[in-house]
């Protein structure tokens, strides 16, 4: 277990469009260099809407080698191989969400055990192509998800009206819009990346004022606000930039590396 911190603080990074250049499907080299320079004095954390243990995310976890991971917006937290926290959705709620989505022509689902369970998978594939065309899905019937462990899900609507009706039907959920605008994370209220960061502060014995959080989309809003220093990358949504303490350059212009230099976290 953790205790009094042996490092100066915690630096959290979102994955997609933050550490990861989704157009190339690779961790930005200058961002990875920043991570390596940060590592001796800071705990490195990936805070993602993804489950970083699934088949299309594990390779990035192995490249970054984080000390800890906040998976699926705070519904699962791991420190190395240790499971620090896990939340599962009620199977009855999962079934109700999936049945609603199937009936209303929406794509909702998640990945479990390296298979992808989505209503209207053609819509999910369409959203993927605009977000990360390198993901090749292993689709299985969404009804199998009724009895599988689900922590959070992903949503692809058709228009704002569909989004509004879905939110009204499921007020216990948060729709955290992707930066691409082509979908959202679905998370039960009460769970967020910010809550995950607070748990890791307790674990490591780090004051939250000594934490930094980098992100680009609406699922990063809470953690960017909660961290001692919140950083929006240059390609972030305007809502995140408005609340961030620091706005970095775009990922393609070595934004993370330059921000770490400007904030005094690393040396040239």
CATH of residue 57: 3.40.50.1000
**Residue-range definition of the domain harbouring residue 123:** 91-188
Q: Can you give the pLDDT at residue 4?
A: 66
Q: Under a CB-based contact definition with an 8 Å cutoff, are residues 155 and 178 in contact?
A: no
Same-domain pairing of 200 and 136: no
Average pLDDT over residues 149-173: 92
Q: Would you state the structure tokens that stand for residue 189, as one six-digit string?
A: 């209220």
Q: Can you give the pLDDT at residue 217?
A: 93
**Half-sphere exposure in the Cβ direction for 260 (13 Å, CA):** 27
Q: Is residue 53 part of a domain?
A: yes
Q: Under a CB-based contact definition with an 8 Å cutoff, are residues 69 and 78 in contact?
A: yes
Q: How would residue 126 be classed by pLDDT, with cut points 50, 70 and 90?
A: confident
Q: Can you give the pLDDT at residue 178?
A: 80
Q: Can you give the pLDDT at residue 180?
A: 66
Residue where a domain stops, chosen among 137, 160, 188? 188
Q: How many CB atoms are located within 10 Å of the residue 89 CB?
A: 20
Q: What whole-number distance in Å separates Cα of residue 223 and Cα of residue 215? A: 9
Q: Is the pLDDT of residue 181 over 70?
A: no
Q: Is the pLDDT of residue 182 over 80?
A: no
Q: Is residue 1 part of a domain?
A: no
Q: How many CB atoms are located within 10 Å of the residue 133 CB?
A: 12
pTM of the entire predicted model: 0.94
**How high does pLDDT run on average in the chain?**
94
CATH code, domain carrying 116: 3.30.1240.10
Backbone phi and psi for residue 52, each to the nearest 5 degrees, phi listed first: -70, 0
Query: Exposed (0-12), middle (13-18) or buried (19+): which is 37, by Cβ within 10 Å?
Result: middle
Average pLDDT over residues 189-217: 97
Q: What whole-number distance in Å separates Cα of residue 120 and Cα of residue 147? A: 19
- Summary count for the chain: helices (H), strands (E): 9, 16
Domain count, the chain: 2
């Amino acid at each position: 277990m953790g205790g009094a911190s042996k490092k100066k603080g915690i630096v959290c990074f979102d994955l997609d469009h933050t550490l990861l250049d989704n157009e190339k499907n690779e961790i930005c080299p200058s961002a990875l260099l920043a991570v390596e320079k940060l590592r001796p004095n800071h705990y490195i954390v990936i805070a993602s809407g993804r489950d970083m243990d699934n088949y299309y995310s594990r390779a990035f976890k192995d490249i970054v080698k984080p000390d800890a991971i906040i998976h699926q917006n705070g519904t699962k937290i791991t420190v190395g191989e240790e499971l620090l926290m896990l939340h599962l959705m009620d199977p009855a709620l999962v079934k109700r969400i999936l049945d609603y989505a199937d009936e209303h022509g929406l794509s909702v689902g998640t990945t479990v055990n390296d298979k992808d369970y989505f209503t209207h998978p053609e819509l999910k594939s369409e959203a993927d192509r605009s977000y990360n065309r390198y993901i090749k899905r292993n689709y299985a019937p969404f009804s199998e998800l009724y009895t599988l462990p689900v922590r959070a899900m992903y949503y692809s609507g058709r228009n704002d009206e569909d989004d509004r009706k879905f939110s009204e039907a499921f007020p216990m959920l948060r729709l955290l819009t992707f930066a691409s605008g082509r979908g959202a994370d679905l998370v039960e209220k009460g769970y967020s990346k910010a809550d995950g960061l607070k748990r890791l502060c307790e674990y490591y014995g780090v004051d939250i004022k000594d934490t930094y959080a980098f992100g680009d989309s609406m699922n990063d809003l809470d953690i960017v606000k909660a961290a001692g220093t919140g950083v929006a990358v240059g390609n972030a949504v305007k809502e995140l930039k408005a609340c961030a303490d620091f706005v970095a350059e775009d990922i393609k212009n070595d934004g993370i590396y330059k921000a770490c230099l400007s904030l005094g976290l690393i040396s040239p």
